Amino acid sequence: MPKSDKLIVKIENVHKAYGREQVLKGISMDVTEGEVVVLVGPSGTGKSTLLRCINQLTVPDSGKVWVNGVELTNPKIDIDKARQHIGMVFQDFNLFNHLTALDNVLLGLIHVLGMKKEKAHDKAMLELKRVGLANKCSNYPGQLSGGQKQRVAIARSLAMEPIVMLFDEPTSALDPELIGEVLTVMKDLAVEGMTMICVTHEIGFARDVCSRIVFMEYGEIIEQGNPDKMLNNPDLPRTRQFLGKISELH
């Protein structure tokens, strides 16, 4: 895994509340280039909210977020432009339902990056090939399996040449036997050196490829460290209890 000290994502004291419920209680975190960070924790502890606070699909109440040196929490910046290069993959895929797999990948290339049709087409096919779905390019989302949909969604993000990829429980909505094909794509990405932040309970993925596991609960980071330490010898009993439980399941 290529590593450098270049800071890609910096999160500083981010708070977010929905009504009275404090979902994020002052999260700070740095992610450097090529790092693969896995966020784990019980449901409802703000993992997905934190992910969405990074690309500002959810705007934090306070705190700051930088991606590639640009402060995204600054209201003066062009957030649409910043989002172009922050890939995001969703639990329920969110492929554009009226477009074929190819057009799903093309849409951003043409309308966001302003690429010429032919060049965009080649690029989109390349990305579909990368996730092993070139032969499904003319299928609509309704004609793809869950695993295929998620791979197209990954291709759609990759086509925009992201500097960081955010994965929000990418395999939670999948049938067990389709999880593998998505994890394979994600592992390949990690090996290629993509900076990734993943909310997932796929402990196998975390053990094999991630550089850091971050354990969150009640809107706070409880403990973090490399997978070896976190899975085998964590500092806190709560971390051991939680990670032990999900290791049994996966």
CB 16 within 8 A of CB 46: yes
| Closest residue by Cα to residue 208 from 238, 194, 230, 228 | 228
Residue nearer to another protein on the CB measure, 66 or 242: 66
CB 35 within 8 A of CB 225: no
- 140 touches another protein by CB under 8 A: yes
Selected from 9, 37, 40, 95, the binder of another protein by CB under 8 A is 95
In single-letter form, the type of residue at position 24 comes to L
Binding-site size, another protein (CB under 8 A): 31
Selected from 3, 6, 81, 245, the binder of another protein by CB under 8 A is 81
- Alpha-helical regions (H) of the chain: 47-54, 79-83, 101-111, 117-130, 146-159, 176-191, 203-209, 227-232, 237-249
d(Cα 152, Cα 127) in Å, to the nearest integer?
A: 9
Selected from 25, 64, 85, 187, the binder of another protein by CB under 8 A is 85
Residue 112 three-state SS: coil
Residue nearer to another protein on the CB measure, 97 or 241: 97
Residues 31-60 that bind another protein (CB under 8 A): 55, 57
Kindly state the smallest distance separating residue 152's Cβ from another protein, in Å: 11
Contacts with 120 (C-beta within 8 Å, 6 or more apart), sequence order? 106, 109, 110, 113
Residue nearer to another protein on the CB measure, 52 or 212: 52
Residue nearer to another protein on the CB measure, 9 or 213: 9
Residue nearer to another protein on the CB measure, 106 or 221: 106
Residue 1's Cβ-side half-sphere holds a number of Cα atoms within 13 Å equal to 21
d(Cα 66, Cα 53) in Å, to the nearest integer?
A: 11
Kindly state the smallest distance separating residue 160's Cβ from another protein, in Å: 6
User: What tokens were used for 196?
Assistant: 């990734």
Kindly state the smallest distance separating residue 164's Cβ from another protein, in Å: 12
Kindly state the smallest distance separating residue 111's Cβ from another protein, in Å: 6
Residues near another protein (CB under 8 A) are 55, 57, 80-88, 90, 92-98, 107-108, 111-112, 140-143, 153, 156-157, 160
